[in-house]
Amino acid sequence: MLGSLDYSHRRLLIVDPVDDCEPLAQQLQRDRWRVERSDLTKPMQPGYDVCIICLQPHHLGQLDRIKQLIHDSRCEWIAVMSGDLRHNTGLANFIYEWFFDFHTLPIDISRMHCTLGRAFGMGRLRHPDTKPSAIDDALMVGQSPSTQALCKLIGKLAASDSPVLITGESGTGKEVVARSLQRQSRRAKGPFVTINCGAISEHLIQSELFGHEKGAFTGAHQRKIGRIESAEGGTLFLDEIGDLPLEMQANLLRFMQEMTFERVGSSTPISANVRVLAATHINLEDAIEKGRFREDLYYRLNVLQVRTTPLRERKEDITLFAEHFSQLYAAEIGRRPRRFSSEAIAALLAHHWPGNVRELANRVRLGQVLAEGRQIEQHDIGLSAPAAPPCRPLDEYLLKAERQALEDALLHFARNMSRAARSLGVSRPTFYRLLHKHNLRSNRQADAD
């Protein structure tokens, strides 16, 4: 990845430059940097790799403006200031929190050149694609074989209009899969309508799905458009389909067979052009055996199938997902994303993740809020330190290996101590000394006793 960095077009912005910046700018231009200058009052254009701001006393009242500028820029920032400003505690904390590095005047050009190179490289590693990404699609961040296989499968299934059944544990990203299928399909510009079949009462689910006419039942004061009708031309996502009441399962089956429906209180059929995606965390085949789910509906929904993998089975994704969520939730609270300490990473990797990706996202959000230092520590994410492996001092391992070697030599050369010593590459006196050290006796010594 480092080898793919393009150093031929590096853009640097200097905000509120001072006279000392001019020699630096000239040198950087000779080194193929594109240097631009601006002031804090002007809106910042996108696309810079690194930014420098020359902090002056009047900036102390504009820290919120600078913070917002850094947050929106998606690049690394370096502060330049006079030595006396370093003693301002508030400014020092601000620089510690928000800047990649800082320099004091006068600028040491060679040192600044090195800092800019590191900042450029770090910025490209953090943001390899400066184009806006689908921020809600954390699935695409994963690099584990199972996640990559899932992404590939989604790409294949997206081209079809057939129903898809998405199965997997709670919190594994079933709705993310459904949205990815919609986004990559020819229905991408159509609506994506979700209904949680387990969150709506049995008496209201029919009206929610199919809609109702005015006066259809007590309280129906006007016509209501149902979720199916709202999804016209797009995708209907039936979350927790296993919780759908049996009576409604029959109505849904009829709709899927004919792709027509009637509003409650009406006998006029309405055609629907929607793709149906369904998700469940329960085993529907077990539910069929227990009489809680219709077998014919199961086969209508299970034309194509996607199974999400628990987070504990794709450890390679944990750190990537954590960094991804850290970026998202830092934006919520208006601060620079914090890195994770090595202890926090170890705790993340050791955790079993019963709540899967949803639990990870919540713990990272908690860490961004609670962290007080530059890094998120394990206690910030509510995890204890992983149990240390049962290790002993190295000397104990060496002594054990030495004793085992002596025992093997005695076993093979019980009556010939010279050969036993030679097999271990030591002299006979050394061999006897080692036997004494480990309180071992040869058969010859035993016979003498």
**Which secondary structure element, helix H or strand E, spans residue 415, and what is its range?**
none
Phi, psi of 373 (to 5 degrees): -95, -165
Q: How far apart are alpha carbons 170 and 76 in whole angstroms? A: 37
Choice between 188 and 334, residue whose per-residue pLDDT is larger: 188
Q: What is the pLDDT of residues 335-360, one digit of tens each?
A: 777 889 989 999 999 999 999 998 99
Q: Delimit the CATH 3.40.50.300 region(s) of the chain.
A: 138-307
Fold of the CATH domain 315-381 = Helicase, Ruva Protein; domain 3 (1.10.8)
CATH assignment of 138-307, among 3.40.50.300, 3.30.390.50, 2.60.40.2130, 3.40.50.2300: 3.40.50.300
Q: 17 near 56, Cβ under 8 Å?
A: no
Across 13-22, 96-105, 324-333, 337-346, least confident range:
324-333
Better-scored residue on pLDDT, 252 or 411: 252
Instruction: Determine the pLDDT at residue 134.
Output: 34
pTM: 0.59
Residue 200, both tokens: 């709506």
Average pLDDT, the chain: 84
Tell me the pLDDT tens digit for each residue of 72-95: 777 889 999 888 887 788 888 888
- Look at residue 447 and tell me whether its pLDDT is greater than 60: no
pLDDT bin (cut points 50, 70, 90) of residue 282 is: very high
Q: What is the pLDDT of residue 127?
A: 56
Q: Where in the chain is the domain with CATH 1.10.8.60?
A: 315-381
Under the banding of pLDDT at 50, 70 and 90, the label for residue 43 is: confident
Which DSSP state fits 235? E
Enumerate the CATH 3.40.50.2300 domain ranges in the chain, comma separated: 2-126
| Strand (E) or helix (H) holding 270 | strand 270-271
Bigger pLDDT: 428 or 87?
Answer: 428
Bridge pairing between strands 50-55 and 10-15:
parallel
- pLDDT at res. 160: 93
User: What local confidence, expressed as pLDDT, does residue 442 receive?
Assistant: 61
Question: Of 117-131, 279-293, 361-375, 382-396, which one has max mean pLDDT?
Answer: 279-293
- Round to whole Å and give the CA distance between 413 and 410: 5
Please give the angle made by the CA atoms of 107, 79 and 44, to the nearest 5 degrees.
Answer: 120
- Hey, what CATH topology would domain 2-126 get? Rossmann fold (3.40.50)
> CATH for 394-448, among 1.10.10, 1.10.287, 1.10.3470, 1.20.1530?
1.10.10
Residue 6 has pLDDT above 70, yes or no: no
Residue 135 above 80 pLDDT?
A: no
Residue type, 222: Q
Instruction: Give yes or no for residue 302 having a pLDDT over 50.
Output: yes
**pLDDT number for residue 326:** 86
CB 190 within 8 A of CB 201: no
Query: CA–CA separation, 283 vs 304, rounded Å?
Result: 16
Residue 131 has pLDDT above 60, yes or no: no
**What is the predicted pLDDT for the residue at 5?**
42
Residue 132 pLDDT grade (very low, low, confident, very high; cuts 50, 70, 90): very low
pLDDT exceeds 80 at position 389? no
Q: Is the pLDDT of residue 215 over 70?
A: yes
Listed range (102-106, 129-133, 263-267, 389-393) with the worst mean pLDDT: 129-133
